[in-house]
């Protein structure tokens, strides 16, 4: 019994190309995210007061300020 190899139809060829396009887009998005994280961690920004922090430290500082102010408002004695 000889199994003959059939040629892929045009529909199957297109599906393969679109699958490759999705993989390329996924790879590009992941590359951009990794580069953004590396830059965010390594680049130091001058805040004007002589203090230099990277973007991640600035984000965590802003989040801590928000967290502290939120609980300050919740713990106020009047409604």
Whether residue 6 is contained in a domain is answered as: no
Domain residues for 51? 17-74
For Cα atoms 34, 37, 40, give the angle at the middle one, nearest 5 degrees: 150
Whether residue 1 is contained in a domain is answered as: no
Tokens matching residue 65: 């300020």
Q: Looking at the 3D structure of the chain, how many domains does it have?
A: 1
Q: In this prediction, what percent of the chain has a pLDDT beyond 70?
A: 80
Weakest mean pLDDT among 8-17, 27-36, 39-48, 53-62? 8-17
Helix ranges (H only) for the chain are: 10-42, 55-74
Question: Over the stretch 47-63, which tens digit does the pLDDT of each residue have?
Answer: 788 788 888 888 889 99
Q: What local confidence, expressed as pLDDT, does residue 56 receive?
A: 81
Whether residue 38 is contained in a domain is answered as: yes
The C-alpha atoms of residue 14 and residue 18 are separated, in whole angstroms, by 6
What is the pLDDT confidence band of residue 19, given thresholds at 50, 70 and 90?
Answer: low
Whether residue 8 is contained in a domain is answered as: no
């Amino acid at each position: 019994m000889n199994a003959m190899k059939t040629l892929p139809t045009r529909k199957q060829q297109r599906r393969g190309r679109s699958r490759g396009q999705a993989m390329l887009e996924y790879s590009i998005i992941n590359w951009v995210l990794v580069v953004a994280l590396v830059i965010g961690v390594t680049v130091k920004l001058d805040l004007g007061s002589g203090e230099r922090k990277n973007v991640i430290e600035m984000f965590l500082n802003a989040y801590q300020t928000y967290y502290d102010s939120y609980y300050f408002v919740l713990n106020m004695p009047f409604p």
